[in-house]
Amino acid sequence: MNGFIPAHGNYKELVTYQKSVVIYDGTVFFCKKFLNKHDRTIDQMIQAARSGKQNIVEGCMASGTSKESEIKLINVARASQEELMEDYRDFLRNGNCRLWEKDSKEALFVRKLAYKSHESYETYRPFIETRPPEVVANILICLINQCNYLLDHQIKRLEQDFLQNGGLREAMYNARAKQRNEREKTFS
């Protein structure tokens, strides 16, 4: 590794990012198709979905110089996804619609779609864009639950990595100490 700033910014490779893109695109479709264009919830839901996606990007880009920022931003992404899920639950509850049980046949079907080789919005498009609003809301709730589960594990992993490897200050100190030691060896 050259320098002391670790490799970072590989957010497009993260399943949490990929799933958050699907959630964002699905939420944009849902809001435009099923909500009244004057409903303030549209902006809130789209912004929560966007925040869930964008904070993963920002956290990964900040990770090279601030593990603290990375952990905080990934946690903000997790909180935004939770906020969005509550909006979908509200939609179902206010419409007297059924919320799928975790292990219902419908939820299990959606979960199985996640195992496709390259998950993208295209994986879910035939279901999101052709089903009634209560089905689409439940599909997106399933996806948010999956994303939240993965974000929880990502945050735990970031915590463990920090405890094991430290942050930028330790890396800077170690790089400087190594350079000093090499210089001393050269002159002795």
Flag whether pLDDT at 5 surpasses 70: no
> 3-state class of 102 per DSSP?
coil
Tokens 């200050």 belong to residue? 169
User: What is the sign, positive or negative, of the torsion defined by CA atoms of 118, 120, 126, 132?
Assistant: positive
pLDDT, tens digit (0-9, with 9 covering 90-100), for 8-25: 668 999 999 999 999 999
pLDDT, tens digit (0-9, with 9 covering 90-100), for 123-137: 999 999 999 999 999
DSSP 153-180: HHHHHHHHHHHHH--HHHHHHHHHHHHH
Contact present, 124 and 139 (Cβ < 8 Å): yes
pLDDT score at 184: 75
